Amino acid sequence: MYKLNIKIVAVVLISLMSCTQEKNEANIIPRPNEITFGRGSFNLSGSSAFVSEALPSECKEYVKGFMKQLSTACGEKSELSDRGNVRFLYDAKLPEESYRIKSERQGLTVFASDYNGIIYAIQSIKQMLPVSIYTGKADVDDVWSIPCGTINDSPRFHYRGLMLDCSRHFFSTDEVKKIIDVMEIHKLNRLHWHLTDDQGWRVEIKKYPELIKVGAYRDGTCIGKDFESDDGITYGGFYTQEELKDIVSYAAAKGITIMPEIDLPGHMQAALSSYPQLGCTGGPYKVWKRWGVSNDVLCVGKESTFTFLEDVLSEICDIFPSEYIHIGGDECPTDCWKTCPACQAKIASLGIKGDEKYSAEHYLQSYTTEKVSEFLASKGRKIIGWDEILEGKIVDGATVMSWRGSEGGVNAALVGHDAIMTPNSHFYFDHYQSKDEDNEPLAIGGYSSVEHVYGYDIDISPELAGHILGVQANMWTEYIKTDSHLEYMILPRLAALSEVQWCHVVNKNWNRFANDMQHIRIIYERLGYNYATHMFDKWSPCDQA
């Protein structure tokens, strides 16, 4: 009994010590490459900041915003000054998006070579400060110091994305901004915005007003997974070009590029209902009320379809400065092309022939992708498509988004194409995050816990590695109708994703991550995010496996 008590006391002491140690540690997610802390600390309360003129001009505004948050939270004025003790300096030797923080008793110095590097340094600093830095409401026991030491940090992948489907369900501009905010905290840099699909067209196109008049609304939505049912409630919404431009600049200020997706030639039923002449039969078509893959796709036998696509994509390019435009390309049944005189005439006039691997219609889709790609290239843009674009003939210069596992991405890299990994085995945030499905909101299926997301590892040979641009998670929203449900599906899986995207393999460690999440969850809480708690239910802060 006595022996047992000693053991218990020892365990408690050790865990208390490790907890105290952990507190001196930085709970930054994603984990920086190198953190070395020494003795002493620097107190940021009342500090002022100097921003070197050698840094990109927008850095000043960002630092100013941080100083403002600091002032509000600490209750002591922090502002920009030529003699600031928090100094932001340019270091040409640092790669893109990288940063170094040197913290000394008398001040803090941040080095970077670009805007994103400065953003990420500040995000790391904020995660080392009391959570009231995010809300401006300081607690009495808040301590505003950062331990002396250095942080050297640089991302593993340069494409760190999240895809948001606003077609199946529509999310307000405020909610989209709220998602952008949490992406910034986790150092993601791409929001892939799925704006069109069978169930709703969400982007205003001035030349084709019916797209939002007709295509943005459906007469009802199927109930649960009964695709024949219909709730009879008109559902829809769209973003004006002004709203979209506002979101583009909101995201850019946070180092995030918005990549729009116009899914073609399949997943186009909302466009077909607005302009039935775009289809093979001429319709009539209805904005789809159910989920799945529709057989009604664009008629690519008609030249007028390409005129439509070019007009739409021109306006898209005017709204979104993104170097990449996503053109979808997924799940395009070719049934109607097989019986469509225009499509068949096109196949004949182009001399397209099927072979043992792919049908002539598959090659007709490749032709479509190629034409769209050439048009976008004339506007200085590059295309990304879902991995179906590997079927038939892959278009020169196209980047592949690998969703049906990682093989598509590896195959693309093998033939010299760039790829982004977004396999549905790990990064489909519409999948269940707990095995206890009965106690979860209805989801499409699958299973991807936070730990499972965290465990993704791309084992690729060094020669292919250069073609793997990065990793992304996809938030499809067939079953997600509300903001709180959306946040529940994204968080905290986004945190796990961010370490897959950012951390070099040696720095990934589930136990350390789970421990660090105790801090991030409070940030989520204070910022009013609805996050899933499964991982915390199983985890206590000092629980080291």
Catalytic residues: 197, 267, 331
Between residues 62 and 476, which has the closer beta carbon with respect to ligand TNX?
A: 476
Considering only residues 155 through 184, tell me which ones interact with ligand TNX, judged by CB under 6 A: none
Residue 479 is a binding residue for ligand TNX (CB under 6 A): no
If DSSP codes are grouped into helix, strand and coil, which group holds residue 36?
strand
Binding mask 357-386 for ligand TNX (x = CB under 6 A): -----------------------------x
Query: In the bound complex, what is the minimum distance in angstroms from residue 333's beta carbon to ligand TNX?
Result: 13
Residue 198 is a binding residue for ligand TNX (CB under 6 A): no
Residue 204 is a binding residue for ligand TNX (CB under 6 A): no
Q: Considering only residues 80, 89, 252, 444, which one is a binding residue for ligand TNX as defined by CB under 6 A?
A: 444
d(Cα 135, Cα 514) in Å, to the nearest integer? 24
d(Cα 44, Cα 107) in Å, to the nearest integer? 8
Query: In the bound complex, what is the minimum distance in angstroms from residue 275's beta carbon to ligand TNX?
Result: 21
Query: In the bound complex, what is the minimum distance in angstroms from residue 495's beta carbon to ligand TNX?
Result: 21
Question: Where does residue 150 rank: exposed (0-12), middle (13-18), buried (19+ CB within 10 A)?
Answer: middle
Beta-carbon contacts of residue 101 (< 8 Å; ≥ 6 apart): 108, 109, 110, 111, 121, 124, 125, 150, 151, 153
Between residues 47 and 448, which has the closer beta carbon with respect to ligand TNX?
A: 448
Between residues 25 and 331, which has the closer beta carbon with respect to ligand TNX?
A: 331
Torsion sign across C-alpha atoms 109, 111, 116, 121 = negative
Between residues 430 and 499, which has the closer beta carbon with respect to ligand TNX?
A: 430
Range list of β-strands (E), 284-380? 324-328
Binding mask 326-345 for ligand TNX (x = CB under 6 A): ----xx--------------
Q: Considering only residues 367, 428, 488, 524, which one is a binding residue for ligand TNX as defined by CB under 6 A?
A: 428
Question: Which two structure tokens, joined as six digits, stand for 310?
Answer: 């070019």
d(Cα 60, Cα 122) in Å, to the nearest integer? 12
Question: Which two structure tokens, joined as six digits, stand for 16?
Answer: 């208390």
Q: Considering only residues 308, 476, 529, 531, which one is a binding residue for ligand TNX as defined by CB under 6 A?
A: 476
Residue 114 is a binding residue for ligand TNX (CB under 6 A): no
Q: For residue 30, is the peptide bond before it cis, meaning its omega torsion is within 30 degrees of 0?
A: yes
Q: For residue 32, is the peptide bond before it cis, meaning its omega torsion is within 30 degrees of 0?
A: no
Between residues 62 and 170, which has the closer beta carbon with respect to ligand TNX?
A: 170
d(Cα 233, Cα 247) in Å, to the nearest integer? 29
| Residue 237 region by backbone torsions, left for phi larger than 0, else alpha for psi between -120 and 50, else beta | left
Residues that bind ligand TNX (CB under 6 A): 330-331, 386, 403, 428, 430, 444, 476, 478
